[in-house]
A and B are shown apart, each in its own frame.
Chain A
């Protein structure tokens, strides 16, 4: 999966799991303020991302600053293994 396809897949998952209801997520959207993610939804999103993109446990400094969709796209691009069922 190339970078732009991977990023699109990340946006798709984030949009699908938005607590505000399924919607299109854009790179500039903020997870909490724009897409309604609360703590439970963040946990669910993290677990789904790990499954879909074969993510490994991250160092805190890699993920503490994640606030926007783009932040997550960057993180997944850097940490994705062989996708399980993405795309």
Chain B
């Protein structure tokens, strides 16, 4: 994981998954005051990205590429809308005043992300979010149907019990560590890879900006959780992770979304590797975050829980569509579809 070393505390690049460097192991995660300073220096504007410049290229994409990208963008857009609506209760009840000030900057980021994805879908992809096509697209997002209700419930519980720090740390895990640290991180990385591969320059630029913001958000979550674990809230941080793992794994597989398994074997293996890549990135993020917050002893158990959640979701996919998911299809055809990040390290 690449650490951004400007300033007094570490901010870890949210799209990187490598094991911790020595500097990260001995370094101090950025404080809320550090993160506020970065926020002032790292401003960007949706209008400057200008999503409309991708419109001609978007019209040239194959149906498969367009469907894949729209599905990814819908998941990200729905996720951003949900986190914008739910951050308030975390802002109202933080451990420190510095945390409150930092979280207010994050709320501005989330609003900008919503604007970016909505502008991209409208001006880049030509989708009107107000009409049936846009509604169907948003409604099909697995995050909206599976994880968003969970996040709304835990942040709602915090709103109902202000000052209850167990509720605050539970909401923090669902929000900063699972939604942003695991799901959004994996989605941003794979979507940005596809954007580069498909020459969608405005999308690449916008996703890079979003990923920089998300790196601050997840760093806040890691440092706050680290302090929570050290300060007597280890049990709720642990429990919250294990509650959230199965729905998070479900969202990444997306049993409700049809995923064609190519008939030609090399293409099937490539497709399986592509999908498994995102799942493995998310798994690596999950276990790495546990190590960083001081719960390294949960590494193996969390990995097993993640793998079980993936298998359950793959079973659900097969039941829903009457045909195996491409990952399973590749396994059945004698190819594991092992993670291959062809071109992803550019």
Contact = CB atoms under 8 A, between A and B. Distances in A.
Contacts of A55: 263
Given A38-B343, A39-B270, A60-B333, A44 B263 contact: no
Nearest to B198: A40
A50 interface: yes
A70 B343 CA distance: 27
Contact of B264 (A17, A38, A40, A63): A63
Contact of A39 (B265, B273, B334): B273
Best-surrounded residue of A47, A48, A49, A66 (most CB of chain B within 10 A): A47
A55 to B, nearest CB: 5
A47 B260 contact: yes
Contacts of A8: none
B325 to A, nearest CB: 14
A72 B267 CA distance: 12
A69 B94 CA distance: 62
Given A39-B273, A57-B261, A60-B334, A44 B64 contact: yes
Contact of B197 (A40, A50, A60, A62): A40
Interface string A58-79: 1110111010000010010000
B270 A44 contact: no
> Which 6 residue pairs across A and B have the least CB separation, nearest first?
A39-B270, A46-B262, A46-B267, A46-B264, A63-B265, A42-B267
B267 A43 contact: yes
A58 B265 contact: yes
A47 B340 CA distance: 20
A84 to B, nearest CB: 14
Contacts of B239: none
Contacts of B261: 57
Given A38-B197, A43-B270, A48-B64, 17 more contacts: A38-B343, A39-B342, A40-B197, A42-B262, A43-B262, A45-B264, A48-B62, A50-B262, A50-B263, A56-B263, A58-B265, A60-B265, A60-B335, A63-B264, A64-B266, A66-B265, A66-B266
B65 interface: yes
Interface range on chain B: under 10, 10 to 19, 20 to 34, or 35 or more? 20 to 34
Interface of B: 62, 64-65, 194, 197, 260-268, 270-271, 273-274, 329, 333-335, 340, 342-343
Interface of A is mostly: helix
Given A42-B270, A60-B333, A47 B342 contact: no
Nearest to B334: A60
Contacts of A58: 263-265
Nearest to A31: B266
A49 B62 contact: no
Contacts of B263: 46, 49-50, 55-58, 63
Contacts of A49: 263-264
Contact of A63 (B194, B266, B273, B340): B266
B333 A45 contact: no
A72 B271 CA distance: 18
A44 B335 CA distance: 19
Nearest to B194: A40
B274 A47 contact: no
Contacts of B265: 58, 60, 62-64, 66
A19 to B, nearest CB: 9
Contacts of A43: 64, 262, 267, 270-271, 274
A44 B65 contact: yes
Contacts of B264: 42, 45-46, 49, 58, 63, 66, 72, 75
Given A50-B262, A60-B335, A17 B62 contact: yes
B268 to A, nearest CB: 8
Contact of B65 (A40, A56, A62, A72): A40
